[in-house]
A = this chain, B = another copy of it.
Amino acid sequence: MVDITKNIADGSRMAGKQSIIFRNPPYIIAGSSMAGKKEGEGPLGKGFDQVFEDHMVGKKTWEEAESELMKLAAQKVLEKAGLKNSDIRYLIGGDLLGQLIATSFGVAELNIPIFGVYGACSTMGESMLLGAILVEGGYANRVIAITSSHFAGAEKQFRFPLDYGNQRPFSASWTVTGSGAVIIANHKANNKKDNEPDIVITGVTGGKIVDYGIKDSMNMGAAMAPAAFETIKQNFEDFNIKPSYYDQIITGDLGYVGKNILIELLKEKDYDITDRYIDCGIEIYSKDTQDTHAGGSGCACSAITFTSHVLKNLREGVWKRVLFVPTGALLSQVSFNEGNTVPGIAHAVMVEAR
């Protein structure tokens, strides 16, 4: 049994250089997943709470559709936990759209105090990290961590409007349409099945901005892989552990290109994760029947993969301990047009079934 507290001062919550250990691990008492049609047709499709055939989700614009998905994800996670809005002290959330409008318009009517966060597609990691801190620190009894993304809204925001019909290179990823939410609480879920384990967050590693000089917004996997590498390596170092500490290491949306880069970068440091590593961007679509080129991306990619596939495997005992590492590419239309690089960031969340 590995003791991750070995090198941490008694009672301290600061682990190594960038990590936090939770002395009273907060509980993930529910997760929800709203997904688009394409996601519903993918390998994880059956696990989502709801799949929308209509990519407008009954709304007039893509942005409103995304807001609606977020609102529905929040309502669903409350329903699954058997809670009301007023039981939630704070909501931490964000999305890919400029000025987080999917979030602002999505969650306003829930009437919950909100902290808007932005880490591009790593946002679910940042939301869960900050949410776990609020709960373990005694600043909140329950919080919602939530993110969303929408394929059409993201293409318009970052690349070309869909009507333009731009050809996508093989390194390009496909933005996931959907929204995922979890409730993090200072108490166990009160509607668990018999023998179902508790799901807790035992620690986190906050990521730095990592810039290897990639300038191609159609190759975000290559831009984000170094950030995932730095955060995962730091997590191993801060807790003095090896990849084998985890049953699974799960990155957000590196895709086929970024996945291989990450594996190679870690191998150079003598960390081999190949036998216990998946990427949400690869899991969410079928390589054979769904042509998305490099895989899925977007804030919702890691969020709905976590709240369906990952939580299920933890609850069913397939995995006991995972490192969830949503990854983000910190570009904007403006920074891209001005010829800037695409820096990456990744935040890691240590999740355990006990």
Contacts and interface: CB of A to CB of B under 8 A. Distances in A.
A112 interface: yes
A1 interface: no
Q: Most chain-B Cβ atoms within 10 A of its Cβ — which of A99, A137, A157, A330?
A: A99
Interface string A132-164: 011011111100000000000000010000000
Contacts of A20: 139
Interface in A1-37: 12-14, 18, 20
A208 interface: yes
B330 A101 contact: yes
26 contacts: A18-B89, A90-B206, A96-B99, A97-B98, A97-B332, A97-B334, A98-B333, A98-B334, A99-B120, A101-B332, A104-B343, A108-B343, A113-B207, A114-B208, A114-B209, A114-B345, A115-B126, A115-B129, A115-B130, A116-B117, A116-B119, A116-B126, A117-B117, A133-B133, A133-B137, A136-B137
A207 B111 CA distance: 10
Interface residues of A, number: 58
Contacts of A14: 89, 138-141
B126 A209 contact: no
Contact of A208 (B63, B64, B96, B111): B111
Contacts of A94: 118
A236 interface: no
B113 A206 contact: yes
A268 to B, nearest CB: 20
A115 B343 contact: no
B139 A330 contact: no
Contacts of A275: none
Nearest to A104: B330
A205 to B, nearest CB: 8
Nearest to A331: B99
A149 B63 CA distance: 25
A13 B138 contact: yes
Contact of A335 (B105, B114, B138): B105
A340 interface: yes
A-B pairs, top 6 by smallest CB distance, nearest first, are: A98-B98, A137-B137, A99-B332, A113-B206, A108-B209, A104-B330
A99 B118 contact: yes
A338 B61 contact: yes
A100 B116 contact: no
A22 to B, nearest CB: 9
Contacts of A340: 101, 105
A36 to B, nearest CB: 19
A107 interface: yes
A133 B20 CA distance: 13
B117 A211 contact: no
A139 B22 CA distance: 9
A67 to B, nearest CB: 10
A338 B153 CA distance: 13
